[in-house]
Amino acid sequence: MRKLAVGYFLCVANSSVFLTGGATIYLALITYPVSVVLRALGWRELARSVKGAGVTYLAVGVLGGLTYLLVAGALVLQSSDLGGQMILAAAIPWTIYSLVEAAWYVRLGRISRRATFYAAPVSVPAVLYFDSIVLALAGRFQLPEGPSGAFIAMGALLMLSAALAGASFLRLSPELPYVRGTRVSQTPPRPPALRPPAGPGPRVSTAPAPPYLRHHEETAQTSPARVKVEVVSRGTSVVCGNCGRESPLASDACTFCGQPFQKARYGLRCPVCSAPLRTAKRISSDRFVCTQCFSDLRVHLSG
């Protein structure tokens, strides 16, 4: 998630325009398009693991690029009435993709359980405030000269939101498995235990064994039950947790980014890709889905 983290940290520099009264506008003209590209690429990578994230990828990539072109054109034509109209037009795509991002902050907070994602939508009141400023300028209302306290406070909210989003994505592990937009439990699954038959069983005496039987009890050995993992449905490829791309089942590492796949040499593991069974998602009492090759597995006890 480094692209998203860097992209949102660059947004801090973009939002500094509102605190400096426009003194950093030329810095923002450089950092803003870079942040849009990085955020769009990052959301596209996230869309491979989280269902629906592609909407944000399109919103940031298309609407963010349109916003930059309109603002850059307004700076070139600032001496004419067309410049003000372009600023008014730029506020529309900026508002739309900002609200889409804020909605996804909340959803990612539920999926990843990162509290900083829930705080990142503090940008929403700032976006609406600056929209009102643009509408006032378009309506030729008289505004106070210089940035007011509210103006600076709302600019600080934009910077805070970008910093929180960047920190959240920086802490979000790229190897965290997702299935259909929900986080997979990281607790190791336990094999199903065999239940005794229903109905009254024979009474078992709790009295101590006679001395001539104690030696046999102490030396008797019982063979433990074996846990057997069967393949119900085989996966066709291994999905990289880093870049989200598919590689052949026999691969030891991702053929695109080089990220090594999880391989267990011993113990309970997926018979298809050798991933540890503790990483599989439990879907019923004896059924699991491997989160690396998405094979359907059945776990049971054998004598």
Mean pLDDT, consecutive 10-residue stretches, the chain (303 aa), reads 87 84 81 91 86 85 89 79 80 91 90 86 90 75 57 89 90 55 46 50 50 46 68 88 84 86 88 90 88 90 68
* Those residues with Cβ within 8 angstroms of residue 291's Cβ, 6 or more apart along the chain or in another chain: 177, 179, 184, 275, 279, 280, 281
Q: What order of strands is seen across the sheet that includes strand 226-233? A: 226-233, 296-302, 287-289, 281-282
Residue 197 domain-assigned (yes or no) = no
Claim to verify: residue 30 and residue 121 sit in the same structural domain: yes
Claim to verify: residue 149 and residue 231 sit in the same structural domain: no
Claim to verify: residue 168 and residue 36 sit in the same structural domain: yes
Residue 198 domain-assigned (yes or no) = no
pLDDT value of residue 225:
56
Residue 210 domain-assigned (yes or no) = no
pLDDT value of residue 82:
77
Tell me: the pLDDT tens digits for 132-171? 888 877 665 544 444 578 888 888 999 999 999 889 888 8
Residue 206 domain-assigned (yes or no) = no
Domain of residue 128, residue span: 2-180
Closest CA to 61 of 36, 96, 91, 44: 36
Residue 60 domain-assigned (yes or no) = yes
Claim to verify: residue 13 and residue 141 sit in the same structural domain: yes
Claim to verify: residue 40 and residue 137 sit in the same structural domain: yes
Residue 105 domain-assigned (yes or no) = yes
Residue that is last in its domain, among 150, 180, 210: 180
Question: What global pTM score does this model have?
Answer: 0.56
Claim to verify: residue 78 and residue 129 sit in the same structural domain: yes
Claim to verify: residue 154 and residue 233 sit in the same structural domain: no
Closest CA to 194 of 215, 164, 224, 174: 224
Claim to verify: residue 128 and residue 62 sit in the same structural domain: yes
Residue 29 domain-assigned (yes or no) = yes
Domains in the chain, number: 2
Claim to verify: residue 145 and residue 188 sit in the same structural domain: no
Closest CA to 50 of 110, 117, 122: 110
Claim to verify: residue 27 and residue 76 sit in the same structural domain: yes
CA atoms within a 13 Å half-sphere pointing along the CA-CB vector of 63: 19
Q: CA–CA separation, 46 vs 105, rounded Å?
A: 13
Claim to verify: residue 17 and residue 130 sit in the same structural domain: yes
